[in-house]
Structure 1
Amino acid sequence: MTGYAHQMPFGARVQADGTVCFRLWAPAAVRVTLRLEGPGEPARFAMARQADGWYECVTREAGPGSLYRYEIDGGIAVPDPASRHQPRDVHGPSEVVDPAACAWHDEGWFGRPWEEAVFYELHVGTFTEAGTFQAVIERLDHLVRLGVTAVELMPVADFSGRRNWGYDGVLLFAPDATYGRPEDLKALVQAAHGRGLMVFLDVVYNHFGPDGNYLHRYAPGFFTDRHHTPWGAGINFDGPGSRVVRDFFIHNALYWLTEYRFDGLRLDAVQAIADDSDPDILIELAEAVAAGPGRERRIHLVLEHDDNAARYLARRPDGRPRWYRAQWNDDFHHAAHLLLTDEADGYYADYAEAPLRHLGRCLAEGFAYQGEPSAFRGRRARGEPSADLPPTAFVNLLQNHDQAGNRALGERLDALAAPQPLRALLTILLLAPSPPLLFMGQEMAAAPPFLFFCDFGDDLAAAVTEGRRREFAAFARFADPQAREAIPDPNAEATFARCKLDWRALAGEPDWFGLHRDLLAVRHAEIVPRLPGTPGGCGEYALFGPPAARHGLRVRWRLGDGSRLILTANLGGAELSAPADAVDARLVHAEPSPAAAMLASGRFSPWSVVWQLAGEATAWVTYTGA
């Protein structure tokens, strides 16, 4: 069938009569000229000024493949902020794309239930040696064999240069040409759907990158000095002219979900979106998605929100999310990381006093911080109550791009933690009710680091490199300026090259891959079928063990089918006695195996994990701990 096209009030639209309609919001411009570029002298067409700062031009002189820019007041020529393709990077011309021309063959795909989600986060440029959308397709069978059900792409919106994490995108509708053409990304989504894989896209709506954003020149109303972000002036979501700005981002979400058939979006760092409107942009966007593509197939929206704002995860009386399915649970990561490494620098300090208690609360109630003061944030209260939310409202993880890449040397967790403790925490991650997330290469204990990398021009490059090294001056390891010189230069191509996965490491399917695969097989067989209908307030946790070695953790959940899922773990280096449980339960999995002796004696070896299930007929007995 023909491709999917999202109709929006800006950009270049190929019309049914063969003309192309170009529209630009440029309220600060006196005049705007459409410039069509080709091998000869550019052709120029005056754009008619319309109400509220809009300019429009309809012409037969352009068609799919035409390159164009907008000349502002007879001077600077800028790309289309809603460009669908930028073949010559962010400062070059935009290309007219007809989305209806791309054939789709996934008519029977309506998505997968949220409860089946197992995420695999990847960066297109470093996931394979080629670093393209097409190359990702070649590795999809590996993900299916692993047991993953959802591929999550780090941002692909057009950024400056040849390499970037993606969070510096400036042309938010154009997949970066370094990875391929729009058709290549659509082919990736179709190939994933053909294998039963959902595909999610990470999007950034809190700022634009520092190079290639021309909106200040002709639409300064996109920004406001009333709100500030870590990257400068805030985006104007709630002041004069904000209606167009809000529509720009809402249409961006609808565009990715409609034209590319993504199954969901992950909105990056939304705590940096300042909006005093009611409803705010996050709620309006979610409602637009539900009223649009969400009516036709399963669409899942996920947040990253450092403030733990549980209200965006609210459920309807029937259990369906009111706005967002889930949030990345940094609390889970931080508590687990501290248990594995004893690192207490930076934000880990908030978890140093009782990491196991924080982990238990995350598993049973969602967030560890639900309004308690955060020492790292100057004793400011952080978070909102989350115990009334189901565990499926939280995406848990042990590794992701941030937690590796924001380290000075980009070390992965495998290089920081001992094998048995890491196996224990992995067993908890992959069998707990919350959807788990893996970071690319995690399943093969990938050796390459994941460093921060970019490709900016000379002046900006020097500032980024110096700023990156200055960030770590407060760490004892990098207090010496000479030590900071060892931090890789983000702009060096070699830094980027070091991050590429080495797929030869998977030869023979090593044990670490097998552990991930086997645990996910248990998850799909034993846990996932019981998750639909799992209510909020279904979990409880308690610690056990002597006061000097309180390393025991028991968590219990009432799942949607009425069964009870029970976790008993010793997350310390000494053997512990576990209190007897009051329910008769069946063994689901143990690490290390076998578990019969541990269950019979109540003596749990160091870094051991046991999962059990109790049936519907078993009484639920509140556990108070030992």
Structure 2
Amino acid sequence: MPLAETHPRSSQHVRPAPDGPRYGAWRAGSEAVFRIWAPAVAQLSIEIDGNAVVPMAPLADGWHEYRAELPFGTRYRYQLPDGTVVSDPASRRQEGGVHGESVLVSPDDYTWRCAGWRGRPWRETVLYELHVGLFGGFAGVERELPRLADLGITAIELMPIADFPGSRNWGYDGVLQFAPAAAYGTAAELKSLIDRAHELGLSVLLDVVFNHFGPDGCYLHTHSPEFFKSGSQTPWGAGIDFDRSEVRGFYRACALQWLDEFRFDGLRFDAVHAIPSAEFLLELERDIRAALPQERHIHLVVENEDNDADLLGAYDAQWNDDFHHAIHVLLTGETQTYYGSFAPEPLHHLARILESGFAFQGQVAPSRGRARGKPSGHLAPSRFVNCLQNHDQIGNRLFGERLLALAEPGQVKVAAALLLLNPQIPMLFMGEEHGSRTPFHYFTDHNEELAQAVREGRKREFEHEDHDGDPLALDPNAPETFEASRPQPGDEADEWLALYRELIDIRRSLIVPDLDDCGSAGAEPLGAQAVKAAWRLGGRSLVLLANFADEPVETALPAGRPIFSLGVVAAQADRVKLEGPSFLAILSD
């Protein structure tokens, strides 16, 4: 259709940038607006539906804009002066992959069934992390929701879905932060997934990556090198310049899109230790809460290797890798890489975690060679998200082994009871609930040049480990690596499901109601591989005893009534003996 230009072609005509500029493309009445921040380019053009190329109007401060009467569904790309065409960095939908055409889409393309949903309080959270692609896309996840709700899960967390190159990826190579991955389905299918979750009483959180872009398909370097901080690098790519208001605005708009238009109930911010601006993180939290209705339960969670307790004065919680590491060392005896920091005294670390959150609160972490963390004992237990497994801790291993492939089932069951019955927030990883032993590999779908670079990198990373001829261990790009990672129920699936269902039910009925009035009453090691931890829970007390060893451990019998036991637990008079891997939870009334 003919283009109704509303800006002159001359690059000398510059209008002031509007207050709080929007990013990407949208409709204002019948008029479509296309706007991009490209400060390195004096004149930018826009390609419409693969043929018409029209100059954009330069605005102040590096912004460019084009307006025309165009319908939803219009395909577009931006053209640089040298003829290079690039996708919109704020694209909402792509045709032809991340290197293809961006599409003008309507944010109102879905009619919500559960429009009155306001979310669930954070204290009720039992998280379930999953990879959308391995579940069969957005529609596949939706089909699994009734099963998860029946188990007692209250919130699912999707690994990143920002559009990436190819059809297989963990999601941390995303390059179009506003666009749901086309490989997983449409925006309407994603909204239907979230709608169905809300109908079932499930919250939905999204993992977002605001610390870097993937290595293939990010064109910001060609027209907006100022988006990146000169000389700054993360482990995954160029460091981003969060001192620039345009950059902060880009990520603010992205976060609000997921929470407002798609109605996610919260965000998990990946590796914020790679975002060198606490000011931005605090500003982002304030802006999100100010922009959304106060009656909604919006949960903001960080992953932060630095254990910055100060940040948790604003954010709801942090993934607490310390809990995972201490348990992992106890159950497997592994001491390589970061596990070395927990190897000397894993039980003492575990006791400190249960009592006050972080294992390292300013102490020197041996694997890092420097102090890590800040005091966290003043924070509520619900500020910490614990897990026995997650995508990182399984998938970054050479063979992607789950915990059940590395530890005795009896010990893992004790760890599961400790995870789900302590007041800190528990998270399961997909398949864990039915005792899956299926590996979870690192997988990609890169172009061959990049795929070969990844293969070579893995060979160097794991050169001291015997891959035993396993081709999947060193080839993330093979389709078989992805297929082998689909979670399958273990041989004792019914037994594991019954255990998790019982633990979640106890948590929901006896622990969650008083979590807003909960504080530690101390924790201590018992013997070589056992721990005791206690909490004030409203007007009651909760005591957990966990023995991970084959050798029995004996201690004073806490006052109260047993609410759960596992393994052989013998009580006599005022003493209790936990024989072999066993667990006891006691709640006083």
- Give the TM-score band, short-chain normalised: over 0.9
CA offsets 1:393-443 (integer angstroms, 9 cap, x no match): 000000000011000000111111111111111000011101100000011
Judge which range, 596-605 or 402-411, deviates more.
Answer: 596-605
SS in 2 for 1:348: helix
Q: Are 2:448 and 1:448 equivalent residues in the alignment?
A: no
| Cα gap change, 1:599 to 1:283, in 2 (>3 Å) | farther
Contact 1:31 / 1:74 at 8 angstroms: preserved in 2?
A: no
CA offsets 1:363-389 (integer angstroms, 9 cap, x no match): 111000111111111x20011100111
Contact 1:236 / 1:245 at 8 angstroms: preserved in 2?
A: yes
SS in 2 for 1:515: helix
Contact 2:32 / 2:67 at 8 angstroms: preserved in 1?
A: yes
Aligned residue number for residue 588 of structure 2: 614
SS in 1 for 2:438: coil
Once the 2 structures are TM-superposed, how far is the Cα of residue 228 of structure 1 from its aligned partner?
Answer: 2.3
Q: Name the CA distance, whole Å, in 2 between partners of 1:101 and 1:602.
A: 61
Aligned residue number for residue 91 of structure 1: 99
Once the 2 structures are TM-superposed, how far is the Cα of residue 602 of structure 1 from its aligned partner?
Answer: 2.0
Q: Name the CA distance, whole Å, in 2 between partners of 1:30 and 1:281.
A: 29
- Counterpart of 1:543, as a letter, is P
SS in 1 for 2:119: coil
Contact 1:543 / 1:553 at 8 angstroms: preserved in 2?
A: yes
Aligned residue number for residue 531 of structure 2: 553
SS in 1 for 2:518: coil
Aligned residue number for residue 503 of structure 2: 519
Contact 1:8 / 1:251 at 8 angstroms: preserved in 2?
A: no
Contact 1:598 / 1:605 at 8 angstroms: preserved in 2?
A: no
Q: Name the CA distance, whole Å, in 1 between partners of 2:119 and 2:208.
A: 19
Q: Name the CA distance, whole Å, in 2 between partners of 1:370 and 1:600.
A: 35
Q: Name the CA distance, whole Å, in 1 between partners of 2:200 and 2:21.
A: 31
| Cα gap change, 1:149 to 1:486, in 2 (>3 Å) | closer
Aligned residue number for residue 309 of structure 2: 310
Q: Are 2:497 and 1:510 equivalent residues in the alignment?
A: no
| Cα gap change, 1:495 to 1:509, in 2 (>3 Å) | closer
Aligned residue number for residue 180 of structure 1: 185
Q: Are 2:87 and 1:101 equivalent residues in the alignment?
A: no
Aligned residue number for residue 284 of structure 2: 285
Aligned residue number for residue 495 of structure 1: 481
**Which of the numbers 428, 431, 438 marks the counterpart of 1:438?**
428
Aligned residue number for residue 29 of structure 1: 41
Aligned residue number for residue 569 of structure 1: 546
Q: Name the CA distance, whole Å, in 1 between partners of 2:21 and 2:203.
A: 25
Once the 2 structures are TM-superposed, how far is the Cα of residue 485 of structure 1 from its aligned partner?
Answer: 6.3
Q: Name the CA distance, whole Å, in 2 between partners of 1:301 and 1:614.
A: 33
| Matches for 1:337-348 after TM superposition, within 5 Å | 337-348=328-339
- Higher percent of residues as strand: 2
Q: Name the CA distance, whole Å, in 1 between partners of 2:453 and 2:159.
A: 24
Task: Give TM-score scaled by structure 1 length.
Answer: 0.88
Contact 2:215 / 2:237 at 8 angstroms: preserved in 1?
A: no
Once the 2 structures are TM-superposed, how far is the Cα of residue 579 of structure 1 from its aligned partner?
Answer: 3.0
Q: Name the CA distance, whole Å, in 2 between partners of 1:420 and 1:599.
A: 27
| Cα gap change, 1:474 to 1:508, in 2 (>3 Å) | closer
RMSD: 1.8
Once the 2 structures are TM-superposed, how far is the Cα of residue 205 of structure 1 from its aligned partner?
Answer: 0.7
Q: Name the CA distance, whole Å, in 1 between partners of 2:198 and 2:573.
A: 42
SS in 2 for 1:602: strand
Q: Name the CA distance, whole Å, in 2 between partners of 1:355 and 1:183.
A: 47
Once the 2 structures are TM-superposed, how far is the Cα of residue 597 of structure 1 from its aligned partner?
Answer: 3.5
SS in 2 for 1:24: strand
- Counterpart of 1:85, as a letter, is R
SS in 2 for 1:429: helix
| Cα gap change, 1:183 to 1:306, in 2 (>3 Å) | same
- Counterpart of 2:526, as a letter, is F
| Cα gap change, 1:498 to 1:230, in 2 (>3 Å) | same
Q: Are 2:115 and 1:77 equivalent residues in the alignment?
A: no
Q: Name the CA distance, whole Å, in 2 between partners of 1:562 and 1:170.
A: 50
Contact 1:408 / 1:487 at 8 angstroms: preserved in 2?
A: yes
- Unaligned runs of 5+ residues in structure 2 are 1-19
Contact 2:213 / 2:237 at 8 angstroms: preserved in 1?
A: no
Contact 2:557 / 2:571 at 8 angstroms: preserved in 1?
A: no
CA offsets 1:284-337 (integer angstroms, 9 cap, x no match): 1101111012524110000000111111112xxxxxxxx201000100000001
Once the 2 structures are TM-superposed, how far is the Cα of residue 508 of structure 1 from its aligned partner?
Answer: 10
Once the 2 structures are TM-superposed, how far is the Cα of residue 181 of structure 1 from its aligned partner?
Answer: 0.8
Aligned residue number for residue 619 of structure 1: none
Aligned residue number for residue 9 of structure 1: 22
| Matches for 1:153-172 after TM superposition, within 5 Å | 153-172=158-177
| Matches for 1:190-205 after TM superposition, within 5 Å | 190-205=195-210
Q: Name the CA distance, whole Å, in 2 between partners of 1:101 and 1:613.
A: 50
- Counterpart of 2:483, as a letter, is A
- Counterpart of 1:254, as a letter, is L
Q: Name the CA distance, whole Å, in 1 between partners of 2:344 and 2:441.
A: 29
Name the % identity.
46
Q: Name the CA distance, whole Å, in 1 between partners of 2:197 and 2:261.
A: 15
| Matches for 1:267-278 after TM superposition, within 5 Å | 267-275=269-277
SS in 1 for 2:371: strand
Q: Are 2:66 and 1:57 equivalent residues in the alignment?
A: yes
Once the 2 structures are TM-superposed, how far is the Cα of residue 501 of structure 1 from its aligned partner?
Answer: 2.7
Q: Are 2:412 and 1:426 equivalent residues in the alignment?
A: no
Q: Are 2:571 and 1:585 equivalent residues in the alignment?
A: no
Once the 2 structures are TM-superposed, how far is the Cα of residue 484 of structure 1 from its aligned partner?
Answer: 8.3
Aligned residue number for residue 398 of structure 1: 388
Q: Are 2:24 and 1:18 equivalent residues in the alignment?
A: no
Runs of 4+ that moved beyond 4 A: 482-486, 506-509, 598-601
CA offsets 1:246-274 (integer angstroms, 9 cap, x no match): 11011111111001100000000111112
- Unaligned runs of 5+ residues in structure 1 are 1-6, 315-322, 616-626
Once the 2 structures are TM-superposed, how far is the Cα of residue 448 of structure 1 from its aligned partner?
Answer: 2.0
CA offsets 1:471-529 (integer angstroms, 9 cap, x no match): 11244x46xxx768672401111111111233xx3899611111111110111111111
Q: Name the CA distance, whole Å, in 2 between partners of 1:512 and 1:544.
A: 27
Q: Name the CA distance, whole Å, in 1 between partners of 2:530 and 2:158.
A: 36
Q: Name the CA distance, whole Å, in 2 between partners of 1:533 and 1:73.
A: 61
Aligned pairs, number = 570
| Matches for 1:190-229 after TM superposition, within 5 Å | 190-229=195-234
